[in-house]
Structure 1
Amino acid sequence: MSQLITEHLPAALLELTEQAWAQVLDSAQTSELALPAALQQRAESRPALARELATAMMGSEYFAEQCQRQPAMLVELLQSDALHEVMSAAQLRQELAESLLEADSFEALCSVLRRFRRRQMCRIIYRDFNRLATMEQTTAELSALADSSIDLSLAWLYQQLSVDWGTPVDSLGQPQQMVVVGMGKLGACELNLSSDVDLIFVYPSQGETRGGQRVVENHKFFLKLGQQLIKSLDQVTADGFVFRVDMRLRPWGQSGALVLSFDAFEAYYRDHGREWERYAMIKARIVAGDKLAGERLMQMLKPFVFRKYVDYSVIDALRSMKQMITREVSRRGLQNDVKLGGGGIREVEFIAQVFQLIRGGRDVELQDRRLLRILRLLKEYEYLPAAAVDELRAAYCFLRNSEHGIQGYQDKQTQALPVAPAEQLRLAAVMGFACWDDYYQVLSQHREAVATHFRYLIEAPEEENADGGLGQEWEDAWLDEDSDEQVVAWLHDNGFSEVEEAWRQLSMMRSSKRVKMMQRQGRERLDLFMPRLLASIAEHDGASTLLLRMLPFVEAVLRRSAYMVLLLENPQAMQQLTLLCSASPWIAKQLATHPVLLDELLNVESLYTVPDRATLSSELQMQLLRLPEDDLEGQMDVLRYFRSAHVLRVAASEVTGRLPLMQVSDYLSYIAEVILQQVLDLAWRDMTASHGRPQQSDGHSCDPGFTVVGFGKLGGLELGYSSDLDLVFLYDADAMSESDGDRPISAQKFYNRLGQKIIHIMTTRTTQGALYEVDMRLRPSGNAGLLATSLKAFERYQLNDAWTWEHQALVRARVVAGDRGLGQRFDTLRREILRQPRDWQKLRVEVVEMRQKMRDHLLPKTTNAQGEELFHLKHGSGGIVDIEFMVQFAVLALANQHPALTEWSDNVRILETLSGIHLVPCEQTEAVAEAYKAYRAHSHRLALQHCENSVVAGQYVTQRQLVTQMWQQYLHEQAVKK
C-alpha cells in the first residue's frame, strides 16, 4: 500500500500532498525501509490510516519533512501504533529517560533530546490534525514533553557538573538542587505546538560546593547549570532544537541575575513586585529540579499573587494592562493574529485572570492555572453569565486549535493567520472547513464574541458615567475648598439636619492622624470616595445620623482602600451600602467590622435572596472542599465568612421588608445548623485521623455515632442575629471501648475531645471574629458534667435526676447535626420523657417558681431616662417568656394524654397543636401566637437598631393583657385544682 487516501482533501492541495508523500516513499526506499508494507500491515487494523496520513502530510510541512528525513521514525510510529495512543506524562518521561542512558556527552544529550522531541512532535501533530486528540490532550502532552525534557536534562547536567565542581550544600551540609519555575503556557500545562518555554531559575540558599575538584559558591554552580540547561534546550543544531527558552520573566528581567536564591527571589516580589508580575505568577508552576523545595517557594509567593480579600485594588493596574493590550493591537496591526489580535487567545486569558487576581485570594479554587477550569468556575460561581462562559470556552478551543494549525504547518512560533491562498486553504482544511471563507466566518464570530466580553470587562468609571452627575459641591465639601459656612449651608440644603455635628465629625476625620498618615494612592482613593459617599448619604432621610453611623465604616477601610475601589467601581453597591446602613445600625456595624462583606452588595439579586437549607449546606460544603483538608485556619475563615455573609442577607431582606419574621428565624437557624454539621465533619476527620473510630458495643465502628442537639432558640427555630447556641453533645458507643487507630483512646475521651474541637472551631476569635458563642450548661449536671454524654447516660439522667426546668428545656430541643440514626433515637427518647405522667399541682408550682426566679434575676429596669414605664418584650409580665413557660407547662402536663404535643419544638406550632386537639380555644391560641410573633418581630427590629429589648408600657397593652389572662387561666393555683 503506497498510496494515500486523499479524496477528502481540497483539490488545490492534492498535488502538493502527493508530492510530499512521494518524497517520503523515495527516502524510505533509499534507506531500504519497507514503508509501504508497514503501512499496509497497520491499515488492516486501521482502515482510516491512509486518510489520516494524507491529512497530516497536507496540513504540516514539518511532519512531511521529518518523515522524509527520518523514514525509520515513521515506520516505528506505524508499527508501535503510537499515532493512535494518548501518552501520559509518566510514559513520556520514561521513554526519554531510557533514551538518555546512551548520552555520554553534552553533544549526545542534545542529540537525544532533539530526536525525542522530533518524534513526539510528529506524533502529536498527526493526532491533533486528525482530531484523534482533544485540544486539552494536545496541550497536556506538549507540556509533559517540555517537563520531562527540562527535568531530565537538568538532572543529567547537574550530575556532570558535580563531578568537576562538587555538590552544592547549605549551611547544614544538606545537598541543594536547582528549582525551575515554568511560567505562562508551560506553567498552566497549556503549551502550544511551537511554543517557547518561559523559565525562572531559583536555588534554596547560599553556600559552597563539596566533593569536587574545586570549590565554588552555590550561585556560581547554579549559574553555570542554568546556562547549560538553556543551551541544551535552545541551541539549534543539525537535529534542530528542543524548546526556545525565554528568561525575561525573572526578577528584573533581562538585567537581572539568571539564578537567584529563595531569599533574594522572595525579597524581590515582596519589595519590588509589580501588578503585571502578579498576573504572570498566576500560572507559575515548578516544572523541574527539587519539586518539594519548589512547592515551599510557591507557598512563600502566594500572598504576593493572591490577596486574602476580594482585591479590587488591582483593578486600576488591570485596566492599564487591558488598555495596553488594546493599544498594542492597534499599533502593531495585530488583527491578523489569533493570539494577540482583538478577540484573540490573550483576551480570553486576560478575562479569566482578572477574576483570579481579584477573587483568587478568597475563592481558592480560582488559583488553578488551567484556563478552561477557571472558565468553568466563573460559570459555577456566577461571576460571569453562563452564556458568556460558553461563548468564551468555545472561542478559546477554536482559537487554540487554529493556533496549532498555524504553528504545526512549519513548526514556527507564530499565531498570524496565513496570507497565501494555499496556506489559508491548508489551515481551513485542518480545521474541518471546505474553504477559507467558511473558516474565517466562524473565526470572526468567535473573535467578536471574545472582543465583546473583553470590551466590557472592568470598564473605567468614566466610561460608565459612574459619577452619576456628581456635583462639584460634594468634592468641595470633603476637600474643604469652601468656607465652613458655605459647606454647612450646602449640607443643610441637602438633607443634613443636625449639620453642625455632622460637619464637626467629618472635619475631625479628615484632619485625623490616620488620614494624614495614608499613603498617596490611598489618599487619592479616599478623596474620590468621600464625595460620592456624601452624595449617596444625602439621598436618605436622617442624613446626619446616617453619616455619623457610617464614619466607623470609613475609618475601617482607610488602610484597606481596595474596598473604596470596590464601591467606586460599583455605584450600585454604594447605593446598597447607604440604604442598608440607613435601615440598620446593626448592619452598619457589621460592615465596619467586616468590610469583606461588601462583596455581598455587588449582586442585588443574591443579596436579597436567602437560600433554603439544602442550598446553604451545598454551598458551604463546596466552599470547604476548595481548601486542603489540613488547612484548618482557612476552613475557619470560610465558615466565618459564610455565616456573616448569609446573616447579612437575612438582615438585608428583613429591614427591606422582603422576609417575614418566621422565615427570618428559620433561616438564621438553618445557617447555624449547616455550620454545625460542617464543623462536626471537620472535627471528626481530625479526630479519626489521630485516633481512629470509636467502637459500638457490638464491635462496629461509629460513623460518627455523635449528634448535636440544639436547645433554646436554636432548638425552637427562633434564632436571632446575636443569639448564642445552647447545645448538648450525645454519642452512641461503649464508653470504655477503645478507638481503632494507631493511638487508641476510650470512646468517652474521644467524644469529649471531639466536643472540645467543635467548641474550639466555633468560638475561637480569628480576624473575622467567632462563629457563635456556645452555651453547654443544659447538658446533664450542667458545667459539672462531661462535655459529651452517651445517650444511655442522658436517658438515665433525664428519668432520674433532671429538674423540672430541664424537662421544660427539653420541649425546645431538636437534633441539629450529626448521626441521623442516633438523632432519631434521641427524638424518640425526647418524646418518651415529655410524655411521662406528671403531678399537675407539683408541676405548676415548679414552673411558676422558676418563672419568678427568672423575673427576679433577669428583668431589667422598668423605666427609661425620661421616667416612662417600660415593658421588656422578653422578661416583662405578659411577654415572651410567659408564653414560652405556658407552652412548656402545657406540653409537660398534657403530653401523656395528647402525644401530638411532643412533635414540635417551636412555640407557634405547639400552640397550633393545642388548638388543633381542642385543649385551648382556637381564638385564644391564635391571639397568643400573634402576640408572640409580634414581640419577636419587634425584638428583631430593636436588635437591628442596636436598641434595648424594651418598649414604652403603652405599647402591646392588649397583647400583654391577653397573655396575662391566659397565665391566670392555666397556671393560677385554682386553675390547676379544677
Structure 2
Amino acid sequence: MLADQSPIAEIVAQLPTAFHPSIHKRCQVYAEQATAEQRDALLALPSTSLENLIKIWGLSDFVGEYTSNRPELMLEMLASGDLVSVYTEREYRQRLQARIDDCTEESQLMAKLRQFRNREMCRIIWRDMLRQADLNETISSMTALADTCIDLALEWLYQDSCAKWGTPMQKQSDGERVPQRMVVIGMGKLGAHELNVSSDVDLIFAYPHNGETVGSGRTMENQAFFIRLGQRLISVIDKVTADGYVFRVDMRLRPYGQSGALALSFAAMEEYYQDQGRDWERYAMIKARVVAGDYQSGAMLLHELIPFVYRRYIDFSAFESLRDMKRMIVREVQRKGLEDNIKLGSGGIREIEFIAQAFQLIRGGRDKQLQQRELQRILVALGEEELLPVAAVHDLQDAYVFLRNLEHAIQGIADQQTQRLPGGALNKARVAFSMGFSQWQDLLSRLQIRRDKVAQHFADVVSFEEEQTNEAMAIDEDDVILWSMRLSEESALALLLEKGFDQPERTLKNIVDLRTSRSVQVMQSQGRQRLDRFMPLLISKVAAADASSETFSRVLRLVESVVRRTAYLVLLYENPGALEQLVFLCSASPWFAEQMARTPLLLDELLNSHSLYSPPEKAELDSELQQQLLRVPVEDLEEQMEVLRHFQKAHVLRVAASELNGTLPLMKVSDYLTFIAESMLAQVLDMAWASMTAKYGYPQREPGVACGKDFVIIGYGKVGGIELGYGSDLDLVFIHDAPSNLYTDGDKSIDNVVFFTRLGQRIIHILNTQTPSGMLYEVDMRLRPSGNSGLLVSSIGAFRQYQEQDAWTWEHQALVRARPLAGSDRVAEQFMAVREAILGQSRERLKLKQDVCEMREKMRVSLGTDAAEQHETFHIKHDSGGIVDLEFLVQYLVLAWSEQFPALYRWTDNIRVLEEVGECGLLPKEKTDQLIQAYIVLRSMMHKLSLQQQANTVSAQLFPQERKLISDTWSEVMLSTSDLI
C-alpha cells in the first residue's frame, strides 16, 4: 500500500487520526490511476511538498479527489511551482486565454472553462486550507478567477453572437453607427473583491443604448440581442456538465428581480433606480462593480447611479429601512435555527457587513471615504472617521478575518457553498486543523468570543424602536392634536397659550400655513408620514423655549426648506438631542436659523454636542480640511469648491454655537473665525497653484530653474487684525517674487507676470463664485497698490517701491493690520521686512495727526449717524467714541512711535498693540487696560448684533462710559497740537 510506505506513513502518523481513512483512500486512488513512474515520482517529492500533499488529502475531499485521480496534473502543479505562487489577474487572463484560443464551439468553451476553473480552485483551496495564503490573497484570487472567466467567456460569446445575429449598434446624432457591447455588473462579494471559495456570482446585465443589429440576414433589437447573449453567458458559466460548472449565477438582484428583463439599457436602469429603487437595492448597489464587458461605459453607468446609493446629506432616513432589515435578520435566525451558521447566525459575517453598510448608507454621501466596496477598508475608515470606537473596529476586523477563514475552511472540504459548522468528527477535525486548533472545542470557544462581540456591536448600531429611550416616543397627544388641526380655532389658541406660546395667533397661523402649503399638499405618503411624526415633537420642544412663537417661526423656515428631503426630519426625530440644540440655537439667533434653512446639511453638526461647542484649534482644522480634500479627485474643482464651502459653513456654525452657548469668549470667537479663513486660503492657494502649473508649467527664477510657490496672500483689515466677524469679507493683497522677464516652463508657456495675475484671478474665482452651497468669502482687493486701477498681483519690489514713494497715509494706516495669511514663507518674510521698514519710518507727527484726523472725519461723515439722530442712536463702529476712533488712534500711535518703539509694529491686532502702548509708556497702562476693555465690550455687542441679524446701531443711552473714554482719549491724543503723543 502506498500509504504504508515511508515517508508517507511518517507524515500520516503525525496527523489527526480522523484524517487517516481519507488519506489512505486518496493514496489508493492515486496508486490505481498512476503509472509506476508517477508513483515513484510521488515518493520522490521534496519533503515539504509531500507533507503538504498528504495534509490536503486529509483536509479536502475536493482537492483530494481532483489530484489523486489526475496524477500527471498533480505532479505538474507541484513541479511548476503554481502551488506556491500568487497569481495576478493578468496571469489568470493569460492562462485562460491560451486555453480557449482554439475553441470553435460553445461546448468546447464550456469544457475549457470548467477545466481551468477546477485546476485553479484546487490551487486556491490548497493554499488556503494549508494557511499558505491569508484571507486577502484567497478572496482576491477567487475574485480574479471569476472576473477572468466571466469576461473572456463573454468576449467569446459576443463575437460568436455577432456572427450569428449581427452586431448591435447605436445610431449617433451625426448618423454614424457605433457598436454596442454588454456590461456585466458584479454584485455582492464579487463586486467587493471578496468572493469566497465556493460562492455564486450575483450579476446584472446592461447595455448602453437601444438600437438594432447590423450585419446578419435580419435585424434584431439590441435588447433582444443582449438578452440572448446574457442567456448564453449564464449557460456557459452556470450549467453543470461532466466537468462540473464554473460559477453558480444569480440574477435576482437585477431591476424588477426575476420578473424583469435579463438585460436593460442604461436609460432604463437609471429610470428604474430613480423611480422604483428600494432601500435594499441601495444596500446592494454599494458593492456594484463592472466585472466584464464594456468597462468604460459601465463605469459611467455606475457613476450616474451614485446619487441613488449615496445621498448628499446625512441620510438618517436609512435608519427606518435598516431597522426593518435588522428585524428580518433576527427573525430569520430565530425561525430557521441558524445559530450554527457563521454567516447568517447571530454574530456572523452578515452582521459585520450590516454594520459597515449601515454607516455607508447613512454617511456615504457626505464622506467619500465610505464610498468603497471592500468591507475591510470600510472598517478602517470607520475607525479613522471616529464613527466607531477603535476597540469596536478592532473587534470587527478580527472577527471578520476569523469568520471568513473559517468559512473557507468549511467550504474547502467539498467545494460546497455552506456556512454551517460541520457535523461529524472528520470534518470537525479538518476545520479545526486548518484553523490552527488541535481541538474542535478550542475553535468553538474562540469563535463564540468573537461572535458575542459582533452581536453586541450589531445590536448597538441600530437599536429597535421598542428598545430606544428616544424621547420622540413620548409625544404629548395635545401636540398631535395641534398639528392635525382637530380643534376649533378658539380651542387651538387656548391650548397654544396654555403650552407656553407667547404669541398663539402667530403660531397657529404658522401651523395652518405650513399644513395648507402646496409643498406639503403634494408630499408623497412616506414624506408626509415623517412630517406628521416630526411636527408634534417640534411643537413640544419649542413651547419650552424663550420667545417660543418667534423660535417656532425660525425653525419652520428650516422645515419648509426640507419638505422635499424629509430625511432631515428623520435625523432630528432620531436624535432628540440634536433637535434640542436646534431649538436652543434658533431661539438665541435668527442668523443661526437662517444658516440652517439655507444649508440643511449643517444639521449634521448638531449630532455631537461636544464638537458643536468645541471648535478645533488651527492645526487640527488644517488637518481635517486636508483629509476631506484628499477624498476629492484633484481635477474635480467643482467638488473641491463644494467641500470648502461646506467645511467653512460647518466650522463657522460651531463658532457661533459656542458663542451663543457662552463657551467661547469674544477674543476666541475672532481667533477661530480667522483660523477658518486662513485654512481656506491655504487650500485655495494650493488648488489654484496646482491648476495653473498643470496648464502652464512653473514660473522660472532663472532660465531652466523653476520657482517655488513664490506667492503670498496678505490679509488686511479684520482678517489681518485677527478680528473677523460673521459674514466679514476678506481684504486681500497678492504679492509674488519672480522675475518679470521670464516665462513658465510648460508646453503652453506664458510670462511670469501673466502667470501670477491669472493665479490671483483663479484664487478670487474659487473664493467668491456662487455654487449650490453659496460663496466662500467675498473678496475686497481695493487695498492693493493703486487700488482698483493697480495690478491684481504686485511683485515684492513693486510693492516696496509703492509703499516708499506713492502710498497715502491711510495706506500706511492699513499696513498696521496687514500680515501674511498663506503662501511662501520666504516671500512672507520679505513682506514683513517691507512692512516693518515702512511702519518704522520717522514721521512728522503733527502732519501725521492731521492726515489721520482728516480721513477719520471723512469716514464719520459718510458712514456715521446723521447729526439729527445722534442724540437717539449710536453707531458702534463709525460714530464718535466708537470702534473706528480707537482703531485710528492705534494706527496713529504705531506710525508715530514705531521708530522709537519697534515693539509697536510687532502685532496686527488692536488689543496687543494697545498693550504695547501701555508698556512703552505712551499712555498710562491703566488707561490702555480700560481702552482694551471698552474695545472688547463694543466688539462683543457687534458680534451679538450680527447673530441677531441687526445693524450696528444701538440706543445712544448705551455704553456711555466706553464712549466717553474713547472720545476723551481721542481728543487728548489726536486733537492736541503737541507732538509728544
Range into which the TM-score falls when normalised by the shorter chain: over 0.9
Verify the 8 A CA contact 2:187 2:288 in the aligned structure 1: yes
In structure 2, do the counterparts of structure 1 residues 35 and 72 end up closer, same or farther at CA, with 3 Å as the change threshold?
A: farther
> Are 2:770 and 1:765 equivalent residues in the alignment?
yes
Q: Which residue of 2 aligns with 1:895?
A: 898
Q: Which residue of 1 aligns with 2:312?
A: 308
- Percent identical among aligned pairs is 50
Verify the 8 A CA contact 1:110 1:232 in the aligned structure 2: yes
2:68 partner letter: Q
> Are 2:327 and 1:323 equivalent residues in the alignment?
yes
CA distance in 1, matches of 2:27, 2:357: 48
What displacement does 1:862 show? 7.1
Verify the 8 A CA contact 1:841 1:977 in the aligned structure 2: no
What displacement does 1:541 show? 2.5
CA distance in 2, matches of 1:802, 1:20: 99
> Are 2:299 and 1:289 equivalent residues in the alignment?
no
Q: Which residue of 1 aligns with 2:522?
A: 517
1:558 partner letter: V
Verify the 8 A CA contact 2:711 2:827 in the aligned structure 1: yes
> Are 2:255 and 1:251 equivalent residues in the alignment?
yes
Aligned ranges 1:135-214 → 2 under 5 Å: 135-171=135-171, 172-212=176-216, 214=218
Q: Which residue of 2 aligns with 1:663?
A: 668
Verify the 8 A CA contact 1:56 1:125 in the aligned structure 2: no
CA distance in 1, matches of 2:256, 2:723: 60
> Are 2:106 and 1:102 equivalent residues in the alignment?
no
Verify the 8 A CA contact 1:683 1:754 in the aligned structure 2: yes
CA distance in 2, matches of 1:428, 1:115: 30
Equivalent residue in structure 1 for 2:222, among 218, 222, 227: 218
1:155 partner letter: E
Equivalent residue in structure 2 for 1:886, among 882, 886, 889: 889
1:361 partner letter: G
Q: Which residue of 2 aligns with 1:941?
A: 944
In structure 2, do the counterparts of structure 1 residues 98 and 656 end up closer, same or farther at CA, with 3 Å as the change threshold?
A: same
Verify the 8 A CA contact 1:279 1:353 in the aligned structure 2: yes
Equivalent residue in structure 1 for 2:363, among 344, 359, 371: 359
1:523 partner letter: R
**Range with bigger deviation, 279-288 or 236-245:** 236-245
> Are 2:937 and 1:931 equivalent residues in the alignment?
no
What displacement does 1:394 show? 1.3
SS of 1:336's equivalent in the other structure is: coil
1:944 partner letter: L
CA distance in 1, matches of 2:615, 2:867: 37
In structure 2, do the counterparts of structure 1 residues 161 and 813 end up closer, same or farther at CA, with 3 Å as the change threshold?
A: same
In structure 2, do the counterparts of structure 1 residues 951 and 2 end up closer, same or farther at CA, with 3 Å as the change threshold?
A: same
CA distance in 1, matches of 2:257, 2:347: 28
What displacement does 1:869 show? 2.0
In structure 2, do the counterparts of structure 1 residues 562 and 870 end up closer, same or farther at CA, with 3 Å as the change threshold?
A: same
SS of 2:290's equivalent in the other structure is: strand
CA distance in 2, matches of 1:537, 1:610: 26
Q: Deviations over 1:206-234 (max 9, x none)?
A: 22333346543322332222222112211
2:406 partner letter: S
Q: Which residue of 1 aligns with 2:418?
A: 414
SS of 2:701's equivalent in the other structure is: coil
What displacement does 1:27 show? 5.2
Gaps of 5+ in 2: 1-5
**Range with bigger deviation, 402-411 or 314-323:** 314-323
> Are 2:595 and 1:590 equivalent residues in the alignment?
yes
Q: Which residue of 2 aligns with 1:625?
A: 630
Q: Which residue of 1 aligns with 2:61?
A: 61
Q: Which residue of 2 aligns with 1:577?
A: 582
In structure 2, do the counterparts of structure 1 residues 839 and 349 end up closer, same or farther at CA, with 3 Å as the change threshold?
A: same
What displacement does 1:609 show? 1.4
Equivalent residue in structure 1 for 2:283, among 268, 279, 296: 279
What displacement does 1:491 show? 2.0
- Computed over aligned residues only, the root mean square deviation of the Cα atoms, in angstroms, reads 2.0
Verify the 8 A CA contact 2:207 2:265 in the aligned structure 1: yes
Verify the 8 A CA contact 1:706 1:732 in the aligned structure 2: yes
**Range with bigger deviation, 888-897 or 946-955:** 946-955
Verify the 8 A CA contact 2:730 2:780 in the aligned structure 1: yes
Q: Deviations over 1:37-63 (max 9, x none)?
A: 68634x4xxxx4444334433321111
Aligned ranges 1:264-275 → 2 under 5 Å: 264-275=268-279
1:503 partner letter: L
Q: Which residue of 2 aligns with 1:833?
A: 838
**Range with bigger deviation, 163-172 or 226-235:** 163-172
> Are 2:406 and 1:402 equivalent residues in the alignment?
yes
In structure 2, do the counterparts of structure 1 residues 540 and 462 end up closer, same or farther at CA, with 3 Å as the change threshold?
A: farther
In structure 2, do the counterparts of structure 1 residues 160 and 494 end up closer, same or farther at CA, with 3 Å as the change threshold?
A: same
What displacement does 1:705 show? 1.6
Verify the 8 A CA contact 1:311 1:562 in the aligned structure 2: yes
Verify the 8 A CA contact 2:7 2:43 in the aligned structure 1: no
Gaps of 5+ in 1: none
Aligned ranges 1:336-355 → 2 under 5 Å: 336-355=340-359
Q: Which residue of 2 aligns with 1:78?
A: 78
Q: Deviations over 1:484-508 (max 9, x none)?
A: 3332222222221222222223222
CA distance in 2, matches of 1:226, 1:869: 83
**Range with bigger deviation, 375-384 or 494-503:** 494-503
What displacement does 1:468 show? 5.6
Q: Deviations over 1:296-353 (max 9, x none)?
A: 1111211221122222223222222222222222222222211111221111111111
1:967 partner letter: W
2:492 partner letter: V
SS of 1:568's equivalent in the other structure is: helix
In structure 2, do the counterparts of structure 1 residues 38 and 637 end up closer, same or farther at CA, with 3 Å as the change threshold?
A: farther
**Range with bigger deviation, 918-927 or 525-534:** 918-927
- TM-score, normalization by structure 2: 0.96
What displacement does 1:10 show? 5.7
SS of 1:170's equivalent in the other structure is: strand
> Are 2:707 and 1:693 equivalent residues in the alignment?
no
Q: Which residue of 1 aligns with 2:339?
A: 335
What displacement does 1:915 show? 2.4
Verify the 8 A CA contact 1:9 1:55 in the aligned structure 2: no
What displacement does 1:604 show? 1.1
1:966 partner letter: T
Q: Deviations over 1:632-658 (max 9, x none)?
A: 221111111101110111111111111
Verify the 8 A CA contact 2:19 2:430 in the aligned structure 1: no
1:896 partner letter: E
Q: Which residue of 1 aligns with 2:3?
A: none
2:767 partner letter: M
In structure 2, do the counterparts of structure 1 residues 684 and 538 end up closer, same or farther at CA, with 3 Å as the change threshold?
A: same
Verify the 8 A CA contact 2:703 2:742 in the aligned structure 1: no
Q: Deviations over 1:849-872 (max 9, x none)?
A: 1111111111145788xx962222
The number of aligned residues is 971
Q: Which residue of 2 aligns with 1:119?
A: 119
CA distance in 2, matches of 1:35, 1:246: 45
Q: Which residue of 2 aligns with 1:638?
A: 643
CA distance in 2, matches of 1:333, 1:615: 50
Q: Which residue of 1 aligns with 2:880?
A: 877
Verify the 8 A CA contact 1:10 1:429 in the aligned structure 2: no
2:906 partner letter: E
Q: Deviations over 1:182-228 (max 9, x none)?
A: 11100000000000111111111222333346543322332222222
> Are 2:455 and 1:447 equivalent residues in the alignment?
no
CA distance in 1, matches of 2:126, 2:622: 48
Q: Deviations over 1:803-824 (max 9, x none)?
A: 1111111111111111222122
CA distance in 2, matches of 1:203, 1:518: 34
1:433 partner letter: F
